[in-house]
Structure 1
Amino acid sequence: MTMLDIDGIAVSPDHYIDGRRVPSTESFELFSPIDQRPLGRIAEGLAVHTDAAIAAAEQAFPAWSALGAAERKPLLDRFAEEIGRRADAFCRLESVDAGVLLSRMRHGVVPRAMLNIGWFAQHALSLQERPIETEQAHHIVRHDPAGVVVIITPWNAPLMLSTWKLGPALAAGNCCILKPPEWAPLTCSLLADAAHAAGLPPGVFNVVQGTGARTGARLVADPRVARISFTGSVPTAKLIAQAAGANLVPCSLELGGKSPFIVLEDADLDGAAATGALMYRNAGQVCLAGTRFLVHEKVADAFTAAMRGYVEKLTVGDPREESTEVGPIIHPRQVERVQGFVQRAVAGGAQLLWGGAPHDFGAQYFQPTMLTRLQQTDEIVQNEVFGPVLTLQTFSDDDEAIALANGTDYGLGGVCYGATAHATAVAERVRTGFIWVNSFGIRDLAAPFGGIKRSGIGREGGDWSFEFFCDIKDVVVPKKPFKASFSHR
């Protein structure tokens, strides 16, 4: 295929396998969520491509893993630098391809993508060998690379989540195959250019594009794969886990969220309301957002009025404009899904506080929406919408708030606003992988990230990433001469 021209940015539609671009006899059409215009055709990963990528990674693994963390670090540092050199292209490309706010790409995503690579390259230096001394022996605990890693990322944050997984996987000494989201694959293709320019050896990093049902399914079912890291939906995760289970391949699964946003009676209502409006960013297509507002009944009216004031100031529009705060939903199918949730909820007796319909800016834009008068068993309370749609329920005391917060099958994140000691005590009782007290979105690469229940398996970040991407080995050296004996005395 010829190069695609996306608003003046040249990007390859082909796969990247064993250090070179590889075309396909089959392709699929890509459209921009901003205005539904076609962006071009993207190479579809067939069996020949998945097989070639896994073979290339296998072949590259002995030399890459033998380098050691200190020798891999300069190459990975250059990889981060090459991402930085292409910062403007990454920003504009993902905005057109995935509808992400251009301002968020510039100030948040691209700097974080660079950090994802560089930070883990540095952190790997501390994980080479860890001694444990016992009375009988010296134990040398090693973090050895596992082998071929398959990484599958979602369409709501392709660049950030790809580098979040690639950073520790590559730093640990693995060779990776990235399967980008079919609805937003372009920045992953540009990521291959950055890796190539940085001098990563052929086969160490590969990109195979395609659908989950075809390309992804082949990758996760291959017995040569040593690890699978996936961020996405629960139904897809179940299919991946089934395929991986047949080969006993460990999986890291970061899945959906239906996180509570708790507002206690002693909360700073204006601060909580301002933070609440942030839940609409990226058109609500953020897994860790607090989408279920649980508000103490004594402050519910005041909080609702305060949040309405912030929501009414939000600008819905083209994500490339600096003034835009809520952009498009990724795909017409996702728009239908979001609208269906709202319509069924209203038909079932829910009340719209605001929003509830497509936005007049364009076909893939939806009004920031809040629904109330809901039961805990309602579909929209229990299931992830993944759009700019929130729900509001009230409670009378802490026990009821916690029961509501824990009353879904999800457990990814959460937010709790209140007097610090009070909010912290409530937060500690919420069953979730992480929860922010009087804040939102504070992340540190050294801290664990992941969910419980249907929100996932495993943790990413810091040592936890390396625990997953490595084989942990204990080399045991006795302190005294060892004498073999069958005696039980």
Structure 2
Amino acid sequence: MKSLPHWIDSQARPASSGRWLEVFDPSSGEAFAQVAAGDATDVDMAVAAAAKAFPAWSSLRNSERAAWLEKLASALEARLEDFARAESLDGGKPYSLARDAEIPRAVSNLRFFAHAATQFASESHHGEAGLNYTLRAPLGVVATISPWNLPLYLFTWKIAPALAAGNTVVAKPSEVTPLTATLLGELAAEIGLPAGVLNIVHGTGAEAGEALVMHPDIKAISFTGSTVVGRRIAALATPHLKKVSLELGGKNPTLVFADSDWRVQLDTLVRSAFQNSGQICLCGSRVLVERSIYEEFRDAFVERVATLRLGDPSDENTQLGPLVSQAHFDKVKTCLDRARSEGGRFLVGGHALDRAGWFISPAVVEGLGPDTASNREEIFGPVATLQAFDSEQEALALANASEYGLAAMLWTRDLDRAHRLSAQLRAGIIWVNTWLMRDLRTPFGGMAASGLGREGGTEAMRFFTEAKNVCLALDKPP
């Protein structure tokens, strides 16, 4: 059984308590590793190491920090297949998805923010009141807390801008999927990244996570995860006036109009609902279809979903793997039972497979209104609901009938409609005739129950820095 230690001050360390947590293979339900069960003592050690490293790291030229991120990206890319295998084992996701999309995106995250470090600029203002220039200084020691669904993808999405901006980092990956973050910590030590710059502490949210959020020397917290945990972090951090970025859940609508090229784009529409077994906060779990095409779309959508290959994540032909854990499997099963009790008609799937592991067949459900819990609460599994609409205004009302506001997908060939509805949809990111197409320069995040703040591009660099304005009086001409 593998042992996954903390990485603190460039050293592999067990938990100070000596305790370990089991890590499970979702495709078999069996433990394959143990991860250090960190607590406040481990957090203290990691924060101390990061604080010691901060003066030297923050004083490096931006180009020097960029070079370190590039070096880490190249080392990760050289071991892409190893990391993809680890991600597939740990999270139950298809190996092909990890290899072709998620690990390459982690490499891109590191490289993007390496370039961002060299391009991030301060502002100057003159002609109104003296000469002003704004310094953007790193905060100090910051915390990043990343989720289990896209483990290395989102881990690097947070640590890269923090490091690029000159901060040192204490990162807590999910204890459910800690393997690739641990391997990255090992890789950082191998390339000689200065000790204490990146520290990885494992453990549960209650023990390691809350200790990290509450630590007096942590200046900011970047979190991706559930809305419930995000609210808890905000409640803990706000009295101490810490900067907080929260990327939380979603109940995202997909609006399909009759004039769209939905037949050509059917594979993308299905993928947008079921990729990673629906365990992506950006999946379109509420599919809203114009009534004139509803029956044709429904039948074609269901037929395509029924062909999705569910199975062993290591098999190149597998399209969907298991859910990530026993707890999440049980939650999704409960949601499916609730959908049935609410009167939902299951057109395909929605049952647990009679095999080892935490497999649930992808489900398409109709007959549920916008006020049902199934259409209002995040399931985060392979479940999509169908609803029909007759007009733009009804489509908009259905789309906005949620406390969440993360993403929305709009399928139409009418460009005026696309602009008109995009302006009215309550979502932080809107895709028109596509899904999950990402320019890393753009702001990313949600509103309402989907979070607080934005990540990506200059938004991330600004979050991890503090603005300080300097005003110089200018002599008036004689």
Please give the TM-score of this superposition, normalised by the length of structure 2.
0.96
Q: 2:424 aligns to what SS in structure 1?
A: coil
Find out whether 1:104 has 2:75 as its counterpart: no
- Of 134-143 and 232-241, deviating more is 134-143
Find out whether 1:303 has 2:294 as its counterpart: no
Kept after mapping to 1: 8 A contact 2:277/2:381: yes
Distance of 2:362 and 2:258 partners within structure 1: 25
Aligned counterpart, 2:396: 402
- Of 108-117 and 461-470, deviating more is 108-117
Find out whether 1:451 has 2:442 as its counterpart: no
Distance of 1:271 and 1:383 partners within structure 2: 30
Aligned counterpart, 1:258: 251
Find out whether 1:392 has 2:386 as its counterpart: yes
In the alignment of these two chains, the number of paired residues is 473
Kept after mapping to 2: 8 A contact 1:446/1:463: yes
Distance of 1:456 and 1:68 partners within structure 2: 33
Kept after mapping to 1: 8 A contact 2:275/2:283: no
Distance of 2:466 and 2:298 partners within structure 1: 50
Aligned pairs for 1:76-475 (under 5 A) are 76-278=69-271, 279-421=273-415, 422-475=417-470
Aligned residue identity for 2:384: L
Q: 1:214 aligns to what SS in structure 2?
A: helix
Aligned residue identity for 1:454: A
Q: Shift in Å at residue 124 of structure 1?
A: 1.7
Aligned residue identity for 1:258: K
Write the deviation string for residues 253-284 of structure 1: whole angstroms up to 9, x where unpaired.
Answer: 00001000001121223134322210211111
Aligned residue identity for 1:181: S
Distance of 1:169 and 1:413 partners within structure 2: 25
Q: Shift in Å at residue 126 of structure 1?
A: 2.0
Shift of the 426–128 alpha-carbon distance from structure 1 to 2, 3 Å rule, reads: closer
Q: Shift in Å at residue 334 of structure 1?
A: 0.9
Distance of 1:126 and 1:95 partners within structure 2: 35
RMSD over aligned CA atoms reads 1.4
Q: Shift in Å at residue 362 of structure 1?
A: 3.8
- Of 146-155 and 135-144, deviating more is 135-144
- Of 85-94 and 150-159, deviating more is 85-94
Aligned counterpart, 1:485: none
Q: Shift in Å at residue 349 of structure 1?
A: 1.2
- Of 437-446 and 260-269, deviating more is 260-269
Distance of 2:173 and 2:280 partners within structure 1: 17
Q: 1:270 aligns to what SS in structure 2?
A: coil
Aligned residue identity for 2:245: S
Aligned residue identity for 2:194: P
Distance of 1:348 and 1:106 partners within structure 2: 39
Q: Shift in Å at residue 34 of structure 1?
A: 1.1
Distance of 1:312 and 1:370 partners within structure 2: 10
Q: 1:54 aligns to what SS in structure 2?
A: helix
Aligned residue identity for 1:22: R
Aligned counterpart, 1:35: 28
Kept after mapping to 2: 8 A contact 1:269/1:302: no
Structure 1: runs of 5 or more not aligned:
6-11, 483-489
Aligned counterpart, 1:14: 5
Kept after mapping to 1: 8 A contact 2:259/2:414: no
Q: Shift in Å at residue 136 of structure 1?
A: 3.0
Write the deviation string for residues 185-239 of structure 1: whole angstroms up to 9, x where unpaired.
Answer: 0100001012112221111100000001111010001111011000000111111
Q: 1:428 aligns to what SS in structure 2?
A: helix
Q: Shift in Å at residue 481 of structure 1?
A: 7.5
Aligned residue identity for 1:281: Q
Q: Shift in Å at residue 108 of structure 1?
A: 1.2
Kept after mapping to 2: 8 A contact 1:143/1:466: no
- Of 388-397 and 80-89, deviating more is 80-89
Kept after mapping to 2: 8 A contact 1:316/1:361: no
Aligned residue identity for 2:112: W
Aligned residue among 31, 52, 67 for 2:45: 52
Aligned residue identity for 1:345: A
Kept after mapping to 1: 8 A contact 2:345/2:367: yes
Structure 2: runs of 5 or more not aligned:
none
Distance of 1:131 and 1:70 partners within structure 2: 21
Aligned residue identity for 2:190: A
Question: Percent same amino acid at aligned positions?
Answer: 39
Moved over 3 A (4+): 360-363
Distance of 1:420 and 1:319 partners within structure 2: 39
Kept after mapping to 2: 8 A contact 1:269/1:306: no
Q: Shift in Å at residue 424 of structure 1?
A: 3.6
Write the deviation string for residues 115-165 of structure 1: whole angstroms up to 9, x where unpaired.
Answer: 111111111222243322233322212221011111111100110001011
Distance of 1:45 and 1:134 partners within structure 2: 54
Distance of 2:372 and 2:313 partners within structure 1: 32
Aligned residue identity for 1:163: T
Please give the TM-score of this superposition, normalised by the length of structure 1.
0.94
Write the deviation string for residues 367-412 of structure 1: whole angstroms up to 9, x where unpaired.
Answer: 1101111121101100000100011111110000000101100000
Kept after mapping to 2: 8 A contact 1:255/1:454: yes
